[in-house]
Structure 1
Amino acid sequence: MADVVKRAWGGFLWWARGVTGESKYQAYLDHERRVHPDREPMTERQFWRDEYARQNANPEGRCC
């Protein structure tokens, strides 16, 4: 029973990180390490500033 709860909780956390966008920075880091290993990745703060600037410059269909 504990294994089922543990798996369900892990699934919920995965979902919540995707919905809130928290997983975007990790995906960016993974991409940078894989494709551009010689380049220093942006800090999380720089990443989010860049992400919001990109969204404001290129509005897409989004709820907020």
Structure 2
Amino acid sequence: MSRSMPSPADPRRGLGNLPAKGWRAACWALACWWRASARTARLAIGIPDYDHYVDHMQRRHPDRTPMTRDEFFHERMLARYGKGRSRCC
């Protein structure tokens, strides 16, 4: 490559016509979107989000100790499927 053209790996170049700062913002937005999509998909199929629960407990209930990961999942499964009984009949 000539000296006047930046190399494709040049971080100042960015992505396409985006400057490097815009590229970083686009990557950040994509990462946020991915995390939100993953959380939504987990909730849709019934997998509870333990990290979100711990964060909530620390922010809203600092005086209470959060459940352990195993206790949390056990409690969520009991809440979802009941205590040995069927919800439909």
Instruction: Tell me which interval the TM-score lies in, with the shorter structure as reference length.
Output: 0.5 to 0.7
Between 1:49-58 and 1:12-21, the stretch displaced more is 12-21
| Higher relative helix content | 1
Number of residue equivalences:
59
Q: Residues 6 and 34 from structure 1, CA distance in 2 versus in 1: closer, same or farther, beyond 3 angstroms?
A: closer
Corresponding position of 2:71 = 46
Task: Return 5+ residue gaps in structure 1 as ranges.
Answer: 60-64
Aligned-pair RMSD on alpha carbons? 2.6
Mapped contact 2:50–2:69 kept (Cα < 8 A): yes
Q: Which amino acid aligns with 2:41?
A: V
Mapped contact 2:48–2:76 kept (Cα < 8 A): no
Q: Within 2, Cα distance between the matches of 1:34 and 1:9?
A: 23
Q: Residues 23 and 6 from structure 1, CA distance in 2 versus in 1: closer, same or farther, beyond 3 angstroms?
A: farther
Tell me: higher relative CO, structure 1 or 2? Use CA pairs within 8 A at least 6 residues apart.
1
Mapped pair 1:10 → 2:32: yes
Q: Within 1, Cα distance between the matches of 2:60 and 2:28?
A: 33
Mapped pair 1:55 → 2:80: yes
1:36 alignment partner, one of 57, 61, 71: 61
Q: Which amino acid aligns with 1:10?
A: C
Task: Return 5+ residue gaps in structure 2 as ranges.
Answer: 1-14, 16-22
Identity across the alignment (%):
25
